[in-house]
Structure 1
Amino acid sequence: MSTRVKICGLTRIGDVGAAVDAGADALGFVFYDPSPRAVTIEQAKVLARNVPAFVSVVGLFVNPSEAFVREVLDRVPLDLLQFHGDETAEFCNRFGRRWIKAVRVREAGQIERAMREYRQASGLLIDAWDPDRYGGTGHSFNWDLIPSERPLPLILAGGLSSANVADAVEKVKPWAVDVSGGVEKAKGIKDIEKISDFVKEAHRA
């Protein structure tokens, strides 16, 4: 089975096209103003129009208000919600849409607890812990903390690039991998060659 690939933090139409052409399964748009990869609702509407059928459009939120999530859903055709903050399972379930929950890993047992707490999620995204940032850190974490028993599909993020994604897939055997900074030439500005190399390496493994 081929590992799925999500390219996150897209801000330009050309980068959307590059990710689609490379074979990405999902594209992520960040609705979190402090992020250097944030897009407005209007920007996201334009970007989403350039995503063809059978490629998922994912909206990333960090501790949003319910009203803001609903406003985005009313105006942007999202296929999946990604909650990357401290949202409760009850909050994530409010929108009648499939969702995944991100967990910033820093201790043993944390992933197992999250899989129980967010058991209604469509997947659990595991990322590196940073006390100041909710994802997009460019750092990896100790993959030995990842359990082999996984009641939810596991999405691996954190410090991935074409140089290490094949190794990550071999060791962790995730359902999918998620990359942002590892395919950029500047924050929010993707590198077409890096995207292509990343997808090829993820699929090669």
Structure 2
Amino acid sequence: MTKVKVCGIQDLKAAQWAVDAGADAVGFIFAESRRRISVEKAAAISNSIHEGILKIGVFVNASKEELEDIVEKVKLDYVQLHGDESPAFCNSLNVPYIKAVAVTEERDLNILPEYSGEFVLVDSGKGPYRGGNGTSFDWEYLKDYQSSNHKLILAGGLKKDNVRMAVSIAKPYMVDVSSGVESGGIKDKEKILDFINEVRAIKTDSESGELQ
């Protein structure tokens, strides 16, 4: 069953919509972004979400001290690193990490084996930010991607209308959505529910022997 992460959570209402719809993870952005959230607000939301939901913080080139401090304050399960963090830096952390890689061409995937975290995230390299731009990349790059060391998280321009195709090609462990469940830049309850229902329907199709 493909997991779902709803990223760019900015208030408790949106977090609750995601949880109620069946999301497996929520993401808080602490890097430069129009969806950036304060540590205090993220901590309050995190404390209101039950422990079964993964809480993931998104960072770009933050220091080790900042990462570990925010993990403790917000009770994050993972830090998601979208900057120039080296394998050595990531491995030095005392918190679980997800290395995000911006993909513009297939060879960008070559760096993934250098990271030893449980997960890797692939996102589009198009747009002004290190993620959350609402743009996608060619999922065919992932068609033959195999890793015995990582669980793959797919991000970048996903929405209800294209997530079925994305999953059928890339076969990720988890899909990560943000702008695809927004209206006017704000999280939309119905879009969150529709997106997660679409992903769950893919599970049903695959169990019957088909991925449609």
Q: Cα distance, 1:93 vs. partner?
A: 2.2
Q: Distance in 1 between matches of 2:62 and 2:155?
A: 21
Tell me which stretches of 4 or more aligned residues in structure 1 moved more than 4 Å.
none
Q: Distance in 2 between matches of 1:197 and 1:52?
A: 22
Q: Deviations over 1:8-64 (max 9, x none)?
A: 0000100000000000000000111x2011111101111101211211110111111
Q: Distance in 2 between matches of 1:114 and 1:195?
A: 32
Tell me: CA distance 1:131–1:160, structure 2 relative to 1, closer, same or farther (3 Å). closer
Structure 1 counterpart of 2:112, which letter? M
**5+ residue gaps, structure 1:** none
What is the aligned partner in structure 2 of residue 194 from structure 1? 191
Q: Distance in 1 between matches of 2:45 and 2:151?
A: 27
Superposition RMSD on alpha carbons, in Å?
A: 1.3
Q: Identify which of structures 1 and 2 has the higher relative contact order when contacts are C-alpha pairs closer than 8 Å and 6+ apart.
A: 1
What is the aligned partner in structure 1 of residue 130 from structure 2? 134
What is the aligned partner in structure 1 of residue 26 from structure 2? 27
Bigger helix share: 2
Q: Cα distance, 1:7 vs. partner?
A: 0.3
Q: Deviations over 1:179-201 (max 9, x none)?
A: 010001133x2000000011011
Q: Cα distance, 1:67 vs. partner?
A: 2.2
Q: Distance in 2 between matches of 1:87 and 1:102?
A: 9
Structure 2 counterpart of 1:143, which letter? W
Q: Cα distance, 1:131 vs. partner?
A: 5.9
Q: 2:79 aligns with which of 78, 81, 88?
A: 81
Equivalenced residues, count? 200
Judge conservation of contact 1:16–1:50 (CA < 8 Å) in 2. Answer: no
**5+ residue gaps, structure 2:** 203-212
The TM-score with structure 2 as length reference comes to 0.90
What is the aligned partner in structure 2 of residue 183 from structure 1? 181
Q: 1:46 aligns with which of 39, 44, 47?
A: 44
Q: Distance in 2 between matches of 1:162 and 1:107?
A: 24
Structure 1 counterpart of 2:12, which letter? I
Equivalent pairs: percent with the same residue?
41
Q: Distance in 1 between matches of 2:128 and 2:21?
A: 32
Structure 1 counterpart of 2:9, which letter? L
Q: 1:64 aligns with which of 62, 78, 81?
A: 62
